[in-house]
Amino acid sequence: MNRFFVIALFSLITLLPATILAEVSLTAFSKEEALHERNVSKPRIVIQNTGTQPVHGFSFLYYIKTENGSRPVVDNYYVPDAHISLEKYGHGSYAVRYDVPGVTLYPGESYPDENGCVVGIHYPGWEPLIKKNDKSCNFSDMLVYNSQIPVFTSKQKHSRSHSHGKQKASIEIEIRD
């Protein structure tokens, strides 16, 4: 009986901390590839599993604000295994939504790889953008941590707190490949 107790206690001591310390954490890194272009934004984004557990399926948002009631166009330059959509949050406020349902990221891995994914965001007539109004644009020419790109696992719901209390509405847009 003592031997069973010692084995059970040893198992609890060695296995319990690993269970307690298990963490799910996805982190966004980005850079702006079109720093010197006035009529297009090209955010390159990397999502890295910075936790201790594998994550299957996730989504992330890139917030933009348009001028003069214009509706943005999103061109898919390289976003593998994902569905891209545009969500409207109010007058001129949008988010490019990336849904990546079939990818599993193990701790330390990055989506889609260490080079990231990239879209082009512009107006239909290629008028100038005011990127300083875009909450997620970090104006960096290197991939750096970006707290303004929220990332959600498939088990999390996209909460209204990320939309600043405004109602979101999905709209149909053409995503060009």
Euclidean distance between CA atoms 111 and 69, whole angstroms: 33
pTM of structure:
0.79
Q: What is the pLDDT of residue 160?
A: 39
Q: What is the pLDDT of residue 155?
A: 75
Q: What is the pLDDT of residue 154?
A: 83
DSSP lists the bridge partners of residue 63 as: 95
Set out the domains of the chain in order of their start, with CATH numbers: 24-176 (2.60.40.710)
DSSP lists the bridge partners of residue 120 as: 75
Series of mean pLDDT values for 10-residue runs along the chain (177 residues): 55 52 90 97 98 96 93 96 95 96 97 97 95 96 98 70 42 47
Q: What is the pLDDT of residue 177?
A: 52
Sequence-ordered list of residues with C-beta below 8 angstroms from that of 76, at least 6 positions apart, any chain: 84, 119, 175, 176, 177
Q: What is the pLDDT of residue 169?
A: 42
